[in-house]
Amino acid sequence: MTNEGTKALDKVVADNPEIGRSVAAGGISTNVHVAGRGAPVLLIHGSGPGVSAWANWRGLIPVLSRDCMVVAPDMVGFGYTERPAGARYELATWVGQMSGLLDTLGLNQVDLVGNSFGGAVSLAFAVKHPERVRRLVLMGAAGVAFDLTPGLDAVWGYQPSVENMRRMMQYFVYDRSVLSDDLAVLRYRASIQPGFQESFSSMFPAPRQRSVEALATPEDAIAALPHRTLLIHGRDDEVVPLQTSLRLNQLLQRSDLHVFGRCGHWVQIEKAADFARLVSGFLAENDG
């Protein structure tokens, strides 16, 4: 690459807030945002097309980083993390990436916040590495069996176009007035970055009920988890139904459930201030 080309690429990286720093995580070059100091909190994003850690958690990172060390990676297959040839997009891969990231950063134990798909991955990680998790926050989480919803089918079956992005985004929120054509265009452009759609379309092929089941952790293993857990869900979620958090609340003996009325799947957007307050307050409580 010429010097001019290198400078142009550097400018693109510098101008893109979704790009953090590159860290080796289980053999995968992982794009990760690290902010703040204090007790470490690992944020695991959802699985929408074009998603990245920054896009998912940009409202929460500034709040949590006042008192905590926030670590927000792009999981392999998403965002600006490397997509190795032959990568298997499955729970074992994502759990291994998380473990490798903590090893690289020298973090023995973290609080873990997972959104939707990220909730399923967080549950699987907690089962495999219970000693590495202090507390769990699961928002609109998958990870238990449920019937595939039309909303989730639309999300995982997304084919790039502005119109498809606009239609898909309507499943995410209760109040559709928060959506705009500009946002649809922005997320569409994110979804067509090089390599993004190729990995995404291979991740959740039809029939997609199989992918719901592949993300599920056995219920007896969930019930054995000892961690204090905060469950958060939008009552009107059309992507991952409220029943998943109700079931997790039954299984996790040390869990509390907060349900937001008039709220869809994007709790961190529709109820941003309340969500940040709940999470930060829960993580700040004394152990007991």
pLDDT tens digits along 174-230: 999 989 999 999 999 999 999 999 999 999 999 999 999 999 999 999 999 999 999
User: Average pLDDT of the chain?
Assistant: 94
User: Is position 116 annotated as part of the catalytic site?
Assistant: yes
Nearest to 227 by CA among 250, 246, 253: 253
Q: Which domain holds residue 88?
A: 19-284
Q: For the chain, how many structural domains are there in total?
A: 1
61 occurs within a structural domain: yes
Q: What is the mean pLDDT of residues 22-26?
A: 97
For residue 15, the model assigns a pLDDT of 80
Which SS3 state, helix, strand or coil, does residue 149 take?
Answer: coil
Whole-number pLDDT of residue 288:
62
Q: Flag whether 103 is in a domain.
A: yes
Instruction: Establish whether the linkage from the previous residue to 205 is cis, with ω within 30° of 0.
Output: no
Q: Residue 154 falls within a domain, yes or no? A: yes
Percent of the chain whose predicted confidence (pLDDT) is above 70: 95
Q: What is the pLDDT of residue 130?
A: 98
**Residue 4 within a domain:** no
| Mean predicted confidence (pLDDT) in 108-116 | 98
Model pLDDT for residues 45-74, shown as the tens digit of each residue = 999 999 999 999 999 999 999 999 999 999
What's the pLDDT at 171? 98
The pLDDT value recorded for residue 142 is 98
pLDDT confidence band for 14 (50 / 70 / 90): low
In this structure, what DSSP letter does residue 104 have?
H
Residue 236: exposure state from Cβ atoms within 10 A (0-12, 13-18, ≥19):
middle
Q: How do strand 21-25 and strand 28-35 relate by DSSP bridges?
A: antiparallel
Q: What is the pLDDT of residues 69-96, one digit of tens each?
A: 999 999 999 999 999 999 999 999 999 9
Region 99-110: mean pLDDT is 98
Calpha distance 49→170 (Å, rounded) = 14
In degrees, rounded to 5, the angle at the alpha carbon of residue 100 between the alpha carbons of residues 95 and 106 is 130
Q: Establish how many alpha carbons lie within 13 A of residue 259's alpha carbon, considering only the half-sphere containing its beta carbon.
A: 12
> What amino acid is encoded at 36 in this protein?
G
Is 33 known to be catalytic? no
Q: Smallest Cα–Cα separation from 121: which of 161, 93, 150, 154?
A: 93
Please, which pLDDT band fits residue 278 given cuts at 50, 70 and 90? very high
pLDDT at 12: 41
In a domain, 14, yes or no: no
**pLDDT grade for 8, boundaries at 50, 70 and 90:** very low
C-beta separation of 116 from 137 below 8 A: no
Which pTM was predicted?
0.95
Residue 3: inside a domain: no
Catalytic residue among 233, 237, 245, 255: 237
Q: What is the CATH number for 225?
A: 3.40.50.1820
Single-letter residue type at 260: F
State yes or no: is 103 an active-site residue: no
Residue 132 lies in a domain: yes
Among residues 47, 65, 116, 245, the one annotated as catalytic is 116
Asked if residue 12 is part of any domain, the answer here is no
Q: DSSP secondary-structure letter at 172?
A: T
